[in-house]
Chain A
Amino acid sequence: MTVHNLYIFDRNGTCLHYSEWNRKKQAGISKEEEYKLMYGMLFSIRSFVSKMSPLDMKDGFLAFQTSRYKLHYYETPTGVKVVMNTDLGVPNCRDVLHQIYSTLYVEYIVKNPLCPLGETLQSELFNSRLESFIRALPFFSARAG
C-alpha cells in the first residue's frame, strides 16, 4: 500500500506543486508537458462526467483506477485541484486530500504573505510538512506494494 505521487494545480492550470515517492516509470515527456497533460485530462474528464451523468451530479469526478494504480481527485470551490496516485489497496481518500488542502496549503501557503498565489510553491516549511504528513498516512509504506 503506497502513495506514488502528488500534484497540486491552481485554477488556471499552473502546477503549484509536485512530489513523488514511489514512481517506477516516468512518462517519457518533460515535466511541463506532463503537468499540462494531467491538467487537460482532468478538465476534460470533469466536463465529460457532468455531461454524461444519467443522474443529478453530486460530487462529480472522484477517482479512476487501472490494474496497477488509482488516481484520486479533489477540487476545492476556489479551483485548487489535488491529485494523488496511489496503489489499488487504498480506499476512497477524499478526506485525506481535503486535509492536505486545509491543514497544509491554507495554513502554510495562503497564510504566508511571502508566497505569491498562482506561482510554484517555494516554501520549505510547506514541503517538509507535506512530506511528514504523507509519510504518516496509514496507507503509505516506503516499499511499493
Chain B
Amino acid sequence: MADEALFQFLHNELIQYVYKSSEHGEMENGRCITKLENMGFRVGQGLIERFTRDTARFKDELDVMKFVCKDFWTCVFKKQIDNLRTNHQGIYVLQDNKFRLLTQLSAGKQYLEHAPKYLAFTCGLVRGGLANLGVKSIVTAEVSVMPACKFQVMIQKM
C-alpha cells in the first residue's frame, strides 16, 4: 500500500473541492455530504471486491460486520475498529477511538463542526462494501470528542 499521506491529502482536497464547487448557502451542506458519501460508496464497492477475493463466504450478518471491523478497516486505515456493539436486530455501532482521518485535526473540541465532512466519505465506503457483500444498509457517523468517532450501521431488511 502506498504512503497514507497520499490518500489523506487527496481526501482533504476532495472535500474542499466538493464544497467550493457547490453554490454558497447553508442548505448545500447536506448535498455536499451526499456527494461525498456516494463517492465513498463506489470506492467501497470496488475495494471490498478486491479484499474478499480469497476469503470464504460469510456465515451471517454478524460475520460480515466482523470482517468490516477487522480486515477491511485494517486494509484501509491500518488499524481495527476498537469496539463493535449490536442490538442483534440490525443495528451495529462501530467505534474507532483514533480515527485516522481525524487525528491531525484536533484532540478535543476544536473544529468539531467540520468533522462530519471528513466522515462522509468513510460512511459511503462502509455502505458500498456492505452492499457488495449483499447487505443493504444506511451508515451514519457521529463524533463528540476528536479523534474518536462512531459509525452507526442500520441494516435494511427487504
Contacts and interface: CB of A to CB of B under 8 A. Distances in A.
Contacts, number: 32
B111 A111 contact: no
How many B residues are at the interface, by size bracket? 10 to 19
Interface stretch (B5-13, B57-65, B125-133): B5-13
7 contacts: A107-B104, A111-B104, A112-B105, A113-B13, A114-B111, A123-B111, A124-B107
Contacts of A125: 104-108, 110
A107 B107 CA distance: 13
Contacts of A124: 106-108, 110
A123 B110 contact: yes
Chain B CB within 10 A, most for which of A112, A113, A128: A113
A130 to B, nearest CB: 13
A125 B147 CA distance: 11
A46 B8 CA distance: 35
Contacts of B107: 124-125, 128
Contacts of B5: 111
Contacts of B24: none
Contacts of B106: 123-125
B102 to A, nearest CB: 10
Contacts of A123: 105-106, 110-111
A107 B51 CA distance: 29
